[in-house]
Structure 1
Amino acid sequence: MNWQSTLEILQDNLGKALADTFFMVSIATVVGVVFGTLLAIALFLTQHHLFSPNAAVNNVVGFIVNAIRSMPFLILLVVLIPLIQLIIGDPYTPLGGAIALSIAAIPFFARIAENSFTEVDSGLIEAAIATGAPTRQILCDAIFPQALPSFIRGIVLTIISLLGYSAMVGTIGAGGIGDMAIQFGYNRYETGVLIAIVVLLVVLVQAIQWIGDLIARAVTH
């Protein structure tokens, strides 16, 4: 193992690889949390007996969420290539990877957020309904604050999962640390590069988890 060669590769490529990974994961996290939360609200309201149960809507939305979640990300990525190509022209870019990650993140986070909402005490919801508050106010003032710690931990879990998924995006050459690991660590047999990337991923995951736990504890009622 040539450490000098490893250092040169890391110096020349690691910065851009990290920037591409940050770009993909950031966009996918925002999109996943926003649209996943909306889906979670729809699932929660249409199955909770205190609101507006609607089995048909709940089953349709739940089926779509489960169908996407059931596909391994690598297979989903390959399936999405024609769609991404139609949208942006070249799917083999960090933006193409971000679109694929976003589509995977939405149903993933939807189920996490739904579970966070269902953990809220029904007695609290009944009390809020008894005051005559509208559904929007109950969601914002009663359910969200109580679900917030679990919600934040769900965001952390989503970010960590997307970080792992972003490495798979490298298999199609869309950039990021996964692409770097395959191009240099695997194809060129630079074991040092692979070791460095694995260590970096471990450090990143630990840091994200630590920060997320701190925030979750801070907002716990």
Structure 2
Amino acid sequence: MEFDVAHLVEMLPEIQTSFLQTLYMVGISLLVSLLIGLPLGFLLFVTDKGLFWQNRVINLVIGFIVNVIRSIPFIILLVALIPLTIFLVGTTIGPTAASVSLSVAAIPFFARLVESALREIDYGVIEAAIAAGGTPWMIIKDVLLPEAKSGIISSVTITIISLVGTSAMAGTVGGGGIGDLAIRFGYYRYDDTIMFTTVIILIILVQIIQVIGDLLARAVNKNK
């Protein structure tokens, strides 16, 4: 592997643009997954058997849709969502277009993580809240959310890291970002310098996200 420092310096503006595109894609997708995936995860949990909003039909339907989307490889999902992407953003190229598919992939992934975090809560705590006359909304807001917040933060961390990796995959179809740079230069042009640099950037980014996520989860857990 040849590493050319002069070439790296020359490519710094391109690397910076690609890095910002990756942050842009991850940011949009994370926001959408939080807005939709978080309540979806709660809904999957509270409609399950034995919970206060038990509804087998709703639980099975939502669970089926979530599982179907999660079972589709991201590359295939990108292609399948082309009509939706064109409808929403008017194009299939660029980071904004890639954010559509990233968001759709992230929502069920995050929802299942949230559901798992909620299942870690001692059921006795929920029973006590129900016995005390708590309404479903009060139980969700004052019991489930506080009790599961450490697990939810960890779920957010895992989702962000997953989005970083998936956003790099989106670069293979013109989504922009670090993955696009790695494909265009590192793969098609056999540019070892760019390939090595993009890998290092992604490793550092993931490590930073993981450390911050772990610190936040521990801090919240101590404050319970």
TM-score range with shorter-chain normalisation? over 0.9
2:172 equivalent in structure 1: 171
Give the drift of 1:12. 2.6
Residues 25-59 of structure 1, C-alpha deviation per residue, up to 9 Å, x if partnerless? Answer: 00101111220111112111110413121111111
In 2: Cα distance, 1:68 partner to 1:2 partner: 40
Question: How is 1:61-76 mapped onto 2 (pairs within 5 angstroms)?
Answer: 61-76=62-77
Residues 124-169 of structure 1, C-alpha deviation per residue, up to 9 Å, x if partnerless? Answer: 0011111111111111111111101111000000000000000011
RMSD value, Cα: 1.1
In 1: Cα distance, 2:57 partner to 2:133 partner: 27
Question: How is 1:90-105 mapped onto 2 (pairs within 5 angstroms)?
Answer: 90-105=91-106
2:132 equivalent in structure 1: 131
TM-score by length of 2: 0.95
In 2: Cα distance, 1:82 partner to 1:190 partner: 34
Instruction: Say yes or no: does 1:45 pair with 2:46.
Output: yes
Question: Residue 6 of structure 1 contacts residue 190 of structure 1 at CA under 8 Å; is this kept in 2?
Answer: no
Question: Residue 84 of structure 1 contacts residue 91 of structure 1 at CA under 8 Å; is this kept in 2?
Answer: yes
| Residue-pair matches, total | 220
Of residues 148-157 and 183-192 in structure 1, the stretch that sits farther from structure 2 once superposed is: 183-192
Q: Which runs of 5+ in 2 are unaligned?
A: none
In 1: Cα distance, 2:19 partner to 2:101 partner: 18
TM-score by length of 1: 0.96
1:7 equivalent in structure 2: 9
Return the letter of the residue paired with 2:108.
P
Question: How is 1:173-212 mapped onto 2 (pairs within 5 angstroms)?
Answer: 173-212=174-213
Give the drift of 1:2. 5.7
Question: Residue 50 of structure 1 contacts residue 126 of structure 1 at CA under 8 Å; is this kept in 2?
Answer: no
